[in-house]
Structure 1
Amino acid sequence: MNRLLAPFALLLVLALPASAEPFRLIISDLETPLVPNSVVDLALANGYFERAGVEVELVRVQQTPMAMAALQAGEGEMANVSTDALLQMVARGTSDLRAVMSPNKSLPFLIAARPDITDPAQLEGRSFGIGRLGSLDHSLSAKVLAAKGVDMDRMDLVPLGQPAVRAQALLAGQVDATTMSIGTWSAMPDRDSVSILVGMDDYFAAAPVTTKVNVVTTQVLGSRRAEVEAVIEALVLASRDFQDPDLWVERMVVARPDVAREDLMVLAEAYRNSWSVDGGLTREELKVTTEWMYGTEDFQGLRPVRLEEWTDFGPLETVLRKLGPAEG
């Protein structure tokens, strides 16, 4: 009997997936974040990866450098990292990293100002709070305001550090305007005393910069491509579902019971158009991203990199052919 069953046992082994190990996704959020990248935690908690046919394990680290180090050390198969860090590594000689999607391509930035400032043109000659000279909020906002015909060099730039500090300075009347995320905005007390001058959608339209991407190594692309595609499929489907503000809030109430439902509703409405419903990577936006980043101080002296040196659209294109485009 054992001799008869042996061939069938061998066939069963051969039919199993090439890797029985979980697919490890490295993220720099220590808890479910109040931004579109919450889709990663929510996709895991609500069975999206399982339905796509992949077992995912989250590896949590602090900030992009640790995520990059963990990926290169083989402690994960995919990592969510900042685009500028990826580009700098490629420009300095790293050749085995590829961006394959982005569940959170844009920072949810807006520009808030004193209520008497109702047009960006009125900012010239006023004080503007920034993180530091050359910081992401500074350089991105300069691009946004330039698109609106405003020269940031004609403002009094005040380095203040973290967004919460800048928000407090705006409330206290110490600056006339500043950049912050919608999360910082929604957490501000007495925000009726200030107003949104440039909203999130308007901000991204003026500066369509992809700031975060999910990267894998070329080795993982070669050996576990089906799982890479399954992870992308799960995140795309979850992003499409969470465009529904009510659904996102219902899931976030479970994931983050420390946040008031009314605050989640504010965020859900703000994020309605921010989900990566088609994977978050387009050649046009990545071209703008590269050109903009190479104009910043951090890229001075680095060699230009070609798009194919750090991206692979193949897995995402395969997924989108299967799922079709998002509605709307």
Structure 2
Amino acid sequence: MVTATATACGGTGTQTRADGTLSFTVAVVEPDLTTVPILAALDAVRREGHKVDVVELAEPELAVEGLAQGDYAISAEATGPALSAIEQGAPIKIIADAVGNQWALYGKPGITSCADLEGRPFGIFSQGAVATAIAKDWVGAECGAGERPRYLTIGGSDVRAQALASGEIDATPLEISDAVALESSGTSGLTKVVDFAETLPNLHPQTVYANSSFLSEHRPVAQAFVTALVREHARINADPQHLVDLVDTYLPEEDQEDVARVARRYSDAELFDAAALTRQNVQGTIDFFARAGVIGRGMTTRDAADLSFVREAA
């Protein structure tokens, strides 16, 4: 299980112990199904003798800040805040994929295109959320001049799913787990308007990133972690029950029946592939966030990522 022992930065950083093994801290953000393969990979590192503490944080910006300061060695969550920090000179590198683009836009009956959403209530989490950026990018590309939905900020993916089911909004981007929950609840007529994994194939909104000094000074340990994560993802794709088992181990409070349905969807879509990052799709991700106004233009894959770890693991 995850031990929630911190809500802000202030750790002691990575230390080398007397026997040559490391003691370091990894930050996770509100753990969910996408986090448990990372926790399993960290257990593989522990089995090599290293001491790994895991802290749970409320938002990715805190994890990125801790990485920049050297308090945390590794974290994994939203890519946007990491790119923003890298742009400002933070010593951070993206090293693997956490989960593929799992966002899709769902609408109530009759909503089939952007034109159907003009002036209609459209649920978003916040102006700075990646799902909001994805949705607005689609609106900008697909809607005609002056045709825009009416954006309503109403909470996380699960809250927006319920708002869609109850008719408070006409459309909203949802993660797989919340889309499956809607389907399981018997809500009828809701349609998938667009699958953003198909329209934005080079976007990787959730990645694994690390402190650059940790990567350079302790490469074998960083490599052991990435290799273990690649293997965990491969096991999930081969058998979604592995994800169910991981959730049972690390997040036992989750409903197992719901987890099994979501795990099958993740597996069918092959969204777990830590080694999926390439120069092309990292650059595509950078270009998306530049287009969304999260970062300026000009950043390259070399600036943002070290793909040598996934190449070696693969």
TM-score scaled by length of structure 1 = 0.77
Equivalent-residue separation in structure 1 for 2:288 and 2:39 (angstroms) = 30
1:263 to 258, 267, 271: 258
Give percent identity, aligned residues only: 20
Equivalent-residue separation in structure 2 for 1:241 and 1:24 (angstroms) = 25
Q: What is the CA RMSD across the aligned residues, in angstroms? A: 3.0
Matches within 5 A, 1:9-88: 19-29=20-30, 32-34=31-33, 36-44=34-42, 47-50=43-46, 56-88=52-84
Aligned residue identity for 1:24:
T
Equivalent-residue separation in structure 1 for 2:234 and 2:165 (angstroms) = 36
- The answer as to whether partners of 1:101 and 1:232 remain within 8 angstroms in 2 is yes
1:216 positional shift = 2.3
- Give the corresponding residue for 2:173: 179
- Give the corresponding residue for 1:236: 230
Return closer, same or farther for 1:135/1:22 CA change in 2, 3 Å cut-off.
closer
1:127 positional shift = 3.8
- The answer as to whether partners of 2:21 and 2:49 remain within 8 angstroms in 1 is no
- Give the corresponding residue for 1:219: 213
- Give the corresponding residue for 2:279: 283
2:98 to 84, 99, 103: 103
Deviation string 1:40-91 (CA, Å, 9 cap, x unpaired) is 12334xx533567765432322212211222233322222243221222222
TM-score scaled by length of structure 2 = 0.80
Aligned residue identity for 1:230:
A
3-state secondary structure, aligned to 2:106? strand
- Give the corresponding residue for 1:143: 137
- Give the corresponding residue for 2:302: 308
3-state secondary structure, aligned to 1:102? strand
Return closer, same or farther for 1:252/1:152 CA change in 2, 3 Å cut-off.
farther
Equivalent-residue separation in structure 2 for 1:277 and 1:134 (angstroms) = 26
Unaligned runs of 5+ in 1: 1-15, 321-328
1:226 positional shift = 0.7
Equivalent-residue separation in structure 1 for 2:45 and 2:81 (angstroms) = 27
3-state secondary structure, aligned to 2:187? helix
Which protein has the larger Cα radius of gyration, Structure 1 or Structure 2?
Answer: 1
Which stretch shifts more, 225-234 or 128-137?
Answer: 128-137
- The answer as to whether partners of 2:124 and 2:153 remain within 8 angstroms in 1 is yes
Aligned residue identity for 2:175:
S
1:121 positional shift = 5.6
Aligned residues, how many?
A: 292
Aligned residue identity for 2:36:
S
Equivalent-residue separation in structure 2 for 1:213 and 1:248 (angstroms) = 18
- Give the corresponding residue for 1:159: 152
- Give the corresponding residue for 1:90: 86
Return closer, same or farther for 1:98/1:33 CA change in 2, 3 Å cut-off.
same
Return closer, same or farther for 1:221/1:160 CA change in 2, 3 Å cut-off.
closer
1:264 positional shift = 0.8
